[in-house]
């Protein structure tokens, strides 16, 4: 029998806020040492009260808008009660009854065409701390406690591991370009709910949930393993499937049962009376919409129309800093296609030689633009532009001054070029005679001699034209 895979995803994303969700401790990217960013509130001291971080709401709404959700104007927090050493309050503040966003949808481009995945809801919550296990001792690090998260819950609409990975990559580029989260390893964690059913059946099978995975590659392997386990169980009655929580073991590539699935009742949810309901006004929502960055698809479409290749678009979409640099110099007047080449090929290549990546690029839009402008206007050729770029990247020189000091523009006016050509012609009488006798190759030799004399400066096409003119 053929089976169909049914998968639903719960994805936790740590938001890029400066501070935590309910106190003023530094957020996700602040801590250096364990327990650097901890205060009485986020370490659960009695009597401390949470104070809502407005930015969290704005980022959650932005994420909801990007995923085509309804934004709920009335939203509340609930306490989810459980005991664990990394949870100092013995409850997590989350949203059960009135999540901030519901009913969204995201379209995936897959090898089998477009696929719509429905988003059930997005809710805000706080992260838990971390346990660090030593040989005979365990430590608890509260830096991550109360770092803001959004959890994005899909309907069970995925039918393959490929679709899941496509979705996660899409979320990642959206959230990066939207300033919602950098989604580094560990900042994006997934619970994968999975079941199988005979092809054509409408009913859902028994599902298991694989908890807390952050590498896309591991998610892909875990889904393939777990799906086969379900199919074997149904097909060959190797075991009885039960609804449970499992973990994926990276080394063996297998999943193992952790515990029976908790139900909602296990957590004794109740409204958090310490936090006022949040009401999102029309004005506020409008303001968030205005500040919302361009949707990834639109952005990609605009780049495509500007003649940028798909591969380059992927690089731009996933790197906010770089796409901003490109947008900036395009706004100043550089052609988008040229800008992409300067940044993604030339800058990247120069950095690569030093073992660096585009993330290390510090060139200002202004300096980069002044190089591209000199090349565009014919003041210097592209080779000279590249030399200047290297100097700017390595020593942060002033492009125009560097160009002048090194004479990269000097030999470029046509009278200077003509002088060089005259010199070459007078010094290479034999080649000139050969050319006049119909040896085409001789022209190439003369051209090469001119280029050598000009030390790479000058526009090759212009030099060729002038040389031919002189010879005829």
Contact with ligand ADP (CB under 6 A): which of 20, 207, 382, 386? 207
Residue 227 touches ligand ADP, criterion: CB under 6 A: no
Paired tokens of 346: 């030339």
Q: How far is the CB of 140 from ligand ADP (least distance, A)?
A: 26
Residue 7 is a binding residue for ligand ADP (CB under 6 A): yes
Q: Residue 197 belongs to what H/E stretch?
A: strand 188-198
Q: Give which of Zn ion, ligand ADP, none residue 129 binds (C-beta under 5 to 8 Å, depending on kind).
A: none
Residue 173 interacts with which of ligand ADP, Zn ion, none, CB < 5 to 8 Å by class: none
The three-state secondary structure class of 277 is coil
Among the listed residues 435, 467, 443, the one whose alpha carbon sits nearest the alpha carbon of residue 454: 467
Question: What minimum distance in Å lies between the beta carbon of 237 and ligand ADP?
Answer: 20
Residue 94 touches which member of Zn ion, ligand ADP, none, C-beta under 5-8 Å by kind: none
Spatial separation of the C-alpha atoms in residues 34 and 393, rounded to whole Å: 36
Q: Using CB positions, name the residue nearest to ligand ADP.
A: 8
- Sequence-distant (6+) residues with CB within 8 A of 222 are 192, 210, 213, 248, 255
The verdict on 104 binding ligand ADP (CB under 6 A) reads no
Q: Name the one range near ligand ADP by CB under 6 A: 152-160, 170-178, 248-256, 324-332.
A: 152-160
**How many Cα atoms occupy the beta-carbon half-sphere of 454 within 13 Å?**
34
31 binds ligand ADP (CB under 6 A): no
Cα first-last separation, the chain: 80
- Which of ligand ADP, Zn ion, none lies near 10, with the C-beta cut-off 5 to 8 A by kind? ligand ADP
**Least distance CB 78 / ligand ADP (angstroms):** 13
Q: Binding of ligand ADP at residue 161 (CB under 6 A)?
A: no
Longest dimension (CA), the chain: 99
Phi, psi of 68 (to 5 degrees): 55, 40
Q: How far is the CB of 38 from Zn ion (least distance, A)?
A: 6
Whether the CB-CB separation of 78 and 269 falls below 8 Å is answered with yes
Question: 41 or 71, CB closer to Zn ion?
Answer: 41
Residue 193 binds to ligand ADP (criterion: CB under 6 A): yes
Binding of ligand ADP at residue 194 (CB under 6 A)? yes
Give ∠ CA 138-142-145 in degrees, rounded to 5: 130
Minimum distance from residue 243 beta carbon to ligand ADP (Å): 8
By CB under 6 A, residue 210 contacts ligand ADP:
no
The dihedrals phi and psi of 297, each to the nearest 5 degrees, come to -60, -45
For residue 9, state whether it binds ligand ADP (rule: CB under 6 A): yes
Phi, psi for 358 (deg, rounded to 5): -60, -25
Taking a C-beta distance cutoff of 8 angstroms, is the pair 100, 57 a contact? yes
Q: Which two tokens stand for residue 123?
A: 């809710």
Spatial separation of the C-alpha atoms in residues 398 and 410, rounded to whole Å: 17
Which of Zn ion, ligand ADP, none has residue 39 at its interface (CB below 5 to 8 Å by kind)?
Zn ion
Verify binding: residue 25, Zn ion, rule CB under 5 A: yes
108-124 in b/e form (b: 16+ CB < 10 A) is beeeeeebebebbbbbb
* Two structure tokens written together for 144: 């991550």
- Is 69 a residue that touches ligand ADP (CB under 6 A)? no
Q: Is 153 in the site for ligand ADP (CB under 6 A)?
A: yes
Choose between 9 and 388: whose C-beta lies nearer to ligand ADP.
Answer: 9
52 binds Zn ion (CB under 5 A): no
Q: How far is the CB of 203 from ligand ADP (least distance, A)?
A: 9
Residue with tokens 């009278």: 415
Go through 387-410 and write b for each residue having 16 or more CB atoms within 10 A of its CB, e for each that does not.
bbbbbbbeeebebbebbeeeebbe
Give the binding range for ligand ADP (CB under 6 A) out of 7-15, 221-229, 244-252, 397-405.
7-15
If the CB atoms of residues 103 and 383 are measured against ligand ADP, the closer one turns out to be 103
Q: Which is nearer to Zn ion, 45 or 131 (CB)?
A: 45
> Is residue 39 near Zn ion by the rule CB under 5 A?
yes
Residue 153 touches which of Zn ion, ligand ADP, none (Cβ within 5-8 Å per kind)? ligand ADP
Nearer to ligand ADP, 10 or 376 (CB): 10
Q: Which residues contact 360 (CB under 8 A, 6 or more apart)?
A: 351
42 binds Zn ion (CB under 5 A): yes
> Which residues does 136 contact at the CB level (< 8 Å), separation at least 6?
none
- Residue 171 DSSP code: H
Distance in angstroms (rounded) separating the CA atoms of residues 86 and 129: 5
156 forms part of the interface with ligand ADP (CB under 6 A): yes
Where on the chain is the footprint of Zn ion (CB under 5 A)? 23, 25, 39, 41-42
Where on the chain is the footprint of ligand ADP (CB under 6 A)? 6-10, 153-156, 193-195, 204, 207
């Amino acid at each position: 029998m053929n089976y169909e895979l049914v998968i639903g995803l719960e994805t936790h994303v740590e938001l890029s806020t400066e501070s935590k969700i309910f106190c003023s401790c530094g957020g996700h990217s602040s801590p250096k040492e364990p327990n650097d960013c901890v205060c009485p509130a986020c370490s659960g001291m009695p009597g401390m009260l949470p104070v809502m971080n407005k930015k969290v709401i704005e980022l959650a709404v932005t994420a909801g808008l990007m995923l085509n959700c309804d934004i709920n104007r009335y939203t509340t927090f609930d306490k989810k009660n459980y005991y664990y050493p990394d949870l100092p309050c013995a409850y997590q503040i989350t949203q059960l009854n009135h999540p901030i966003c519901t009913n969204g949808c995201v379209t995936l481009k897959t090898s089998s065409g477009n696929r719509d995945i429905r988003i059930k809801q997005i809710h805000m919550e706080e992260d838990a701390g971390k346990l660090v296990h030593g040989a005979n001792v365990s430590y608890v690090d509260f830096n991550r406690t109360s770092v803001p998260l959004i959890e994005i819950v899909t309907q069970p609409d995925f039918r393959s591991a490929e679709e899941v990975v496509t979705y996660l990559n899409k979320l990642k580029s959206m959230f990066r370009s939207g300033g919602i989260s950098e989604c580094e390893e560990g900042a994006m964690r997934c619970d994968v709910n999975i079941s199988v059913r005979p092809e054509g059946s409408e009913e859902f099978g028994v599902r298991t949930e694989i908890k807390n995975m952050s590498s896309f590659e591991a998610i892909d392997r875990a889904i393939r393993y777990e799906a086969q386990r379900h199919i074997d169980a149904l097909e060959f009655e190797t075991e009885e499937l039960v609804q449970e929580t499992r973990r994926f073991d990276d080394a063996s590539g297998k999943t193992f049962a952790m515990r029976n699935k908790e139900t909602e009742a296990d957590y004794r949810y109740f409204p958090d009376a310490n936090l006022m309901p949040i009401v999102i006004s029309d004005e506020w929502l409008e303001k968030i919409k205005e500040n919302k960055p361009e949707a990834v698809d639109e952005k990609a479409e605009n780049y495509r129309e500007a003649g940028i290749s798909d591969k380059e678009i992927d690089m731009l979409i996933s790197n906010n800093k770089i796409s901003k640099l490109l947008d900036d110099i395009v706004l100043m007047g550089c052609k988008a296609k040229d800008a992409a080449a300067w940044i993604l090929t030339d800058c990247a290549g120069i950095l690569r030689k030093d073992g660096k990546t585009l993330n290390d690029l510090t060139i200002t839009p202004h300096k980069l633009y002044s190089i591209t402008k000199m090349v565009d206007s014919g003041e210097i050729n592209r080779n000279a532009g590249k030399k200047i770029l290297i100097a700017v990247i390595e020593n942060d020189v002033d492009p125009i001054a560097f160009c002048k000091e090194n004479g990269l523009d000097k030999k470029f006016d046509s009278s200077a070029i003509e002088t060089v050509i005259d010199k070459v012609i007078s010094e290479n009488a034999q080649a000139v005679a050969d050319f006049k006798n119909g040896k085409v190759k001789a022209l190439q030799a003369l051209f090469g001699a001119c280029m050598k004399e000009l030390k790479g400066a000058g526009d090759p096409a212009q030099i060729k034209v002038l040389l031919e003119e002189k010879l005829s």
